[in-house]
Homo-oligomer: A and B are copies of this chain.
Amino acid sequence: MTQVASNLQIDSARLWGTIHETAKFGATPKGGVRRLTLGAEDKQVRDWFKTACEAAGLEVHVDTLGSMFALRRGRDMSKPPVGLGSHLDTQPTGGKFDGVLGTLAALEVVRTLNDAGIETEIPLCIVNWTNEEGSRFAPAMMASAAYVGDFTVDDILSRKDADGVTVADALEIIGYRGDSAVGAQKFSSFIELHIEQGPILEAEGKTIGVVDSGQGLLWYDGRITGFESHAGSTPMRLRRDALATLSEIVLAMETIAKKHGPNAVGTIGEAVIAKPSRNVIPGEIAFTVDCRSADAAIMDALDADLRAATAEISARRKVEVALDLIWRKAPTRFDPKLVDAVEAAAKKLGFSHRRITSGAGHDACNLNTRIPAAMVFVPCKDGVSHNELEDATQADCTAGANVLMHTVLALAGVAS
């Protein structure tokens, strides 16, 4: 295969322009984007994307779950394409980059290859996956999960939003219930560019994250039952305080995650006191726990340590603590050859880089169970995502798109 020189670069201004052009679909007053999957704004960005892909000479087809596939023919059409892309839906108060960068950078890669007159050996296929965010319909990343067979298509089509609208209805309403069978579009590999959604690259001054793994996840629902009593007349030694119990669990989770670090995190994100009152000792609290690690053995250790700590705290304080594991997701180990290809592209282009674990879930993590997959990360400001304050620099987005392009070219080859 022909090598492509590292001076082939995407058009930074054009990429930046498309990111800001599409950000108007669902733009919020604070500079963010509200573009819930399969809603009116999602239809707008989908229509824009379809038109742009067709203008770039791509053949667009849509599957039964609304995922969009834009094919760029290669010299050898007997081989499944190299996939690249991400998602265009956002959180209810999301930003301009989460998902959008990976999808529009894929378009920019194709536009650049078109401008340079480069034909790849293997075809390329840009993807916009339906409902990565999961804010309107559960679960998150449902289209890629159905693609790899983790859910049936009928199951996903019947999922409802808070207003009782099904995925099937929502697809019909915006005209994106496509003809292609879910899973019919095959890929030889899949590469997803994304903002990191964490602070590591920024803190270490690195431009490119070569994502070699994704964290496995443990989700728990917890409930503490102490005894609600009068804040004035109950002596400290006779209390069974649910909030003091939770406080020990929160700090134990922090200690346990640090002990198994740096490759482990643990968070209590929700904690609701039943019937809270300024002068009543909390008697009952519902809470959730989110524990993650990219290492299955560490996940086991997190679970064991959390349960041991909780049992000790519960017994000592004479307070009941129920801790139910409601979801366990195995860690992702991205395809080593693809990870190497991403790293080689970053090196060839001279970007500072490091191997990194994805803390968040992505469509590429789902796909990796069936297709060789990998990801490219670029820094985001203060590690903030799922927030209107989400931000990334033009230079970093451009660097990520160039790494994406050179990785894809290495995988797809250039027709000689």
Give the interface of A toward B (CB within 8 A): 196-200, 203, 215, 217, 219, 227-238, 241, 243-244, 246-248, 250-251, 254, 257-258, 261-262, 264-273, 276-282, 288, 290, 292, 358-361, 382-387
Distance to closest chain B CB from A218 (angstroms): 11
27 A-B pairs with CB atoms under 8 Å apart are A196-B233, A197-B232, A197-B233, A198-B230, A199-B234, A199-B238, A200-B233, A217-B232, A229-B384, A231-B265, A231-B290, A232-B265, A233-B360, A234-B383, A236-B261, A236-B265, A237-B258, A237-B262, A238-B383, A241-B267, A244-B250, A247-B251, A251-B251, A270-B273, A271-B273, A271-B276, A280-B386
Main secondary structure of the interface of A (DSSP, over half): mixed
Do A269 and B288 have beta carbons less than 8 Å apart? Answer: no
Chain B residue, CB-CB nearest to A250: B247
Copies of this chain present: 2
Name the residue of chain B whose CB is nearest to the CB of A140: B279
Query: Among B228, B233, B360, B387, which residue has its beta carbon within 8 angstroms of that of A232?
Result: B360
Picked from B229, B279, B387, the residue with its CB within 8 Å of the CB of A290 is B279
Which of B257, B267, B269, B279 contacts A267, CB < 8 Å? B279
Residue of B whose beta carbon sits closest to that of A221: B278
For A250, what are the chain B residues with a Cβ–Cβ distance below 8 Å?
243-244, 247
- Whether the pair B236, A254 counts as a contact (CB closer than 8 A) is yes
| Residues of B contacting A197 in the complex (Cβ-Cβ under 8 angstroms) | 230, 232-233
Q: Are A278 and B270 in contact (CB under 8 A)?
A: yes
A237 to chain B, nearest CB (A): 8
Q: Which residues of B contact A229 (CB under 8 A)?
A: 198-199, 383-384
